[in-house]
Amino acid sequence: MYRKMSVILLCLSAVLMLAAVALPIAGAQGANQDIYGRDLPADAAPYDQQIFTELCDSTRTEITLSSVVSVYQRICGDTNIFDQFGDALVVLDENLNLIPGAAESWEASEDGLSWTFKLRPGQVWSDGTPLTAADYVASYRFMVDPANAYDFVWMWQGTILNWSEAVAGEVTPEEIGLEAVDDLTLVVYTNGPRPYLPGTVYFWPPLQAKALAEHGPDYVLDPATSVSSGPFILKEFTAGTRVVMEANPTYNGYRKPFLKEMHGIYGDQLNGSFLAFQNGEIDRVNYTHISPADFEVIAADPILSANYRPNFGDFRTDYLFFDTYTAPFDNLQVRQAFAKALDREAIVENIIGSQFGIAAYSFLAPGFPASDAEGALKPIQNYDCEAAKALLAEAGYPNGEGFPAQELKLRGESESRAQWFIASAASISQCLNVEITVNNMEFSAFMEGLLARPTTVTFGAVSYGMDYLDPSNMLGVWVSTGRHSWRSPEYDQLVNDANVLVGDPDTRTQMYKDAEKILVEDVGGIFLVHRIQGDLWQPFVAGECFRPDRQGVGAYHWGNDWCWGSFYITSEVSNFDTYRG
């Protein structure tokens, strides 16, 4: 009898012990808790409704969900569906400060020739493999390997030791300046002091070294082989049709998501996003996919307008530029005349809309490091039609006579943005009495012409936004090896020297300011507008991400990827007709 009781008690104990062990593994998910066992915020909708959906572009070229494989061909590239399968080493906070990502700390060596990143302990991949510095080393070696033909190699050319040589096939990928000293210590060796290096590693979540070796880089596209050390893991993927990611139960990083799933669905992103948003099919629309007519609808609707959240985005500036190596734009007075003939204020007020841009008189947008916050550069290219006419006359074209007809080439701009440049051409044309036609070219053809040497884009318009938060990035576009046919040895010297200056941030900033002044004075470009970007969010999307920054702006913006750990769907969703039913 006792023996029987003992067996039963033993079995019961075993069952209880198993349950005790199993519950934490399963996340001990309660009534309205996430898979990590955390209570959702008090105003959150049920966990089953914690789904966030974005609209991807059916017409894009796209091959991967990882920025390590390609930047220009990322799946759902205009959304945040990609790069959720890991954490980059660092990330930006809402005030643009670098904060820990997968790395809990980082520091430069005393000689400034290397950076050491310490990974947070305890981070794991979804298959149980620990996330180690070797995964980052494998990912950077993958990118630099000529056989993989990575498209964004410029990011570390001249920065990471032996990077350029490896891209050119002169040394092996194993010889680049990255070393996994131990599981949690990654050292990056540089070509010289590179104070901006931590800022350049903020959007490259790693691939897993083991999966990369076993399955190749496309392991991220197959739920059967995909592993994740990030907040989400791949659940379903059909190319050009659907991406479904679910919260990664093993994730132990800094941005555990409240969201249960993220979905990417496909459609007419440019023309169909706002309709899909109104239809409750998607939860966010980027400003680039909202037409002027849609903005009128938004402005007239108190709920929509309250949920359009402007932000500085990637500090994008739209500008006109020249081939300064050939006539007539090799003449500084011609360029100055064009610059002073552009009535930016009127264009911003009447065409662009003052809520969508600030008239630009320099390249770096307000708020960007080393930008002209004081407006000291404004008088240089300020609108002054009489002065512009005088400059053109001095250049040999009084009242525009004899000036060759020009074609302003655009880079496949949307209808509404093309209007910005048509108005710019009209402003210059009317003031100077010169003939300017506008040609909105196809993107690839424009880029090929821009980068050709000699360039085939004599007079063009384009925009640029940051890749990382340092003037070396934005101003690097204008060095003589950059994309424009404009050259200033003084400018090159200042930018190149500032790029490697450590220990004296004030001097470094001033060098960039001096360089930008040269760019504005020599009219490498005519700066039209600093864009005010934004996203339209469904009213039931909430999260710490929307807390105001020091300027009082509460919005998701480029680089603050910690936000994806904060977003959740509020119970207000029940008042709307959405795909959640």
Partner 1 sequence: MTGYIIRRLIALFFVMVAVSALVFVLMNAVPGGPFSLGERGYTADALANLERKYGLDKPLATRYVNFLTGALQLDFGNSFAVAGNPPVTQVILQTWPVTLQVGIYTITVSFGLGLLMGIIAAYRRNSWIDNLVTLTATLGITLPNFIIATFLLLIFGFQNGWGDPRKWIIPPLWEGGPALLSWDYFLPVITYALAPLALVARYTRSSVADALGADYVRTARAKGLSDSAIMMRHVLRNAMIPMITVLLPQIPNLLTGSLFIEVVYGIPGLGKYFVTSIFNRDYPMIMGLVLLVAFFWGLTYLVTDILYTLIDPRVRIAGRGSN
Chain residues binding partner 1 by CB under 8 A are 58-65, 71-73, 75, 146-154, 157, 164, 167-168, 218, 221, 237-242, 265-268, 271-272, 275-276, 278-281, 442-451, 462-465, 477, 482-483, 577-579, 581
Please report how close the Cβ of residue 468 comes to partner 1 at its closest, in angstroms. 13
Kindly tell me the number of DSSP H helices and DSSP E strands found in the chain: 17, 21
Nearer to partner 1, 317 or 336 (CB): 317
Nearer to partner 1, 132 or 499 (CB): 499
Within 10 A of 122 (CB to CB), how many other CB atoms are there?
A: 10
CA atoms of 563 and 120, how far apart (whole Å): 19
Nearer to partner 1, 78 or 179 (CB): 78
- Please, which residues bridge with residue 64 across strands? 74
Nearer to partner 1, 289 or 340 (CB): 289
Nearer to partner 1, 122 or 169 (CB): 169
Nearer to partner 1, 182 or 236 (CB): 236
Please report how close the Cβ of residue 376 comes to partner 1 at its closest, in angstroms. 27
Please report how close the Cβ of residue 358 comes to partner 1 at its closest, in angstroms. 20
CA atoms of 289 and 549, how far apart (whole Å): 25
Please report how close the Cβ of residue 51 comes to partner 1 at its closest, in angstroms. 11
Please report how close the Cβ of residue 268 comes to partner 1 at its closest, in angstroms. 5
Nearer to partner 1, 239 or 346 (CB): 239
Nearer to partner 1, 148 or 571 (CB): 148
Angle of helix 415-432 versus helix 332-340 axis, rounded to 10: 110
State both tokens at 19: 């349950």
Nearer to partner 1, 141 or 340 (CB): 141
Please report how close the Cβ of residue 378 comes to partner 1 at its closest, in angstroms. 26
For every residue of 135-150, DSSP letters joined together read HHHHHHHHHH-GGG--
Phi-psi region of 234 (alpha: psi -120 to 50; beta: other; left: phi over 0): beta
Please report how close the Cβ of residue 163 comes to partner 1 at its closest, in angstroms. 10
Please report how close the Cβ of residue 464 comes to partner 1 at its closest, in angstroms. 6
Instruction: Tell me if 162 sits within 8 A of 171, measured CB to CB.
Output: yes
Residue 278, classed as helix, strand or coil, is: helix
Backbone phi, then psi, for 384, in 5-degree steps?
Answer: -155, 95
For every residue of 320-362, DSSP letters joined together read EEE-TTSTTTTSHHHHHHHHHT--HHHHIIIII-TTSEEE-SS
Please report how close the Cβ of residue 547 comes to partner 1 at its closest, in angstroms. 30
State both tokens at 194: 């590179």
Preceding peptide of 328 cis, ω within 30°: yes
- Please, which residues bridge with residue 530 across strands? 317, 358
Q: What letter represents residue 74's amino acid?
A: R
Please report how close the Cβ of residue 275 comes to partner 1 at its closest, in angstroms. 6
Preceding peptide of 121 cis, ω within 30°: no
For every residue of 501-532, DSSP letters joined together read --S-HHHHHHHHHHHHHHHHHTTSEEEEEEE-
Residue given tokens 């298959």 in the structure block: 127
State both tokens at 342: 């552009």
CA atoms in the 13 A half-sphere facing the CB of 108: 16
Nearer to partner 1, 123 or 578 (CB): 578
